[in-house]
Copies of this chain bind each other. A is one copy, B any other.
Amino acid sequence: MTRRSGNQALIDRLERADIRPSAQRVAIAGYVLSTADHPSADDVWQRVKVDFPMVSRATVYNTLQLFTEHGLLRQLVLAEGKVVFDPMVEPHHHFVDDETGAIEDIPWSALRVGKVDELEGVDVREYMVVVRGRRRRP
C-alpha cells in the first residue's frame, strides 16, 4: 500500500545510489532524505529509534557517512560542536537562528556572491553564504 510504495521509492533511490537497501538504511533514509531540519547524527538516531528501536548508534553514523559519500546527503558545519546533514545537495545558502539554533535553507539565487573565481591560490570546491540572526515572529 502507500507505506510500502513509499518504501519502494526509497529502496529504488538507494539502489540507484549503489547502496544496499537494508531495513535500517531505509528507515534512516525515510527521515533524513526528506527533512528540512538539518539534524545532527544523534538527532537522526533519536528520531529513527522511535519506529526502529533496535537501530544502533553506530549504524546511524555509518549510514549517514555512506549517504554523504554516495551523494545523497551533504554534511555541513553550521552548528556548534556537531555536524548536521542536509538532503538538499544542490548549492544553496543557510540561515542559522541565534535564538533557536534552527537552520534554514536559502535558495541559491536569493543571494549573489561575486568574485569567488578571483580568489587566488585556491581551488574552490564549494562556497555558500551563512547568515546568522533571528527569525522575526509575527
Per assembly, the copies of the chain total: 2
Q: Are A136 and B112 in contact (CB under 8 A)?
A: no
Chain A positions 57-98 with a Cβ under 8 Å from a chain B Cβ: 75, 77-83, 95, 98
Q: Which residues of B contact A125 (CB under 8 A)?
A: 98, 132-134
A98 to B128, CA, bound (A): 15
Which stretch in A9-17, A19-27, A45-53, A116-124 binds the other chain? A116-124
Number of interface residues of A (CB under 8 A): 36
Which A positions have Cβ atoms within 8 angstroms of B?
A: 75, 77-83, 95, 98, 106, 110-116, 118-119, 121-136
**27 A-B residue pairings within 8 Å (CB atoms):** A75-B80, A77-B77, A81-B82, A95-B122, A106-B119, A111-B116, A112-B114, A113-B113, A113-B114, A113-B129, A116-B131, A121-B135, A121-B136, A122-B131, A122-B134, A122-B135, A123-B136, A125-B132, A126-B131, A126-B132, A126-B133, A127-B129, A127-B130, A127-B131, A128-B129, A129-B129, A129-B130
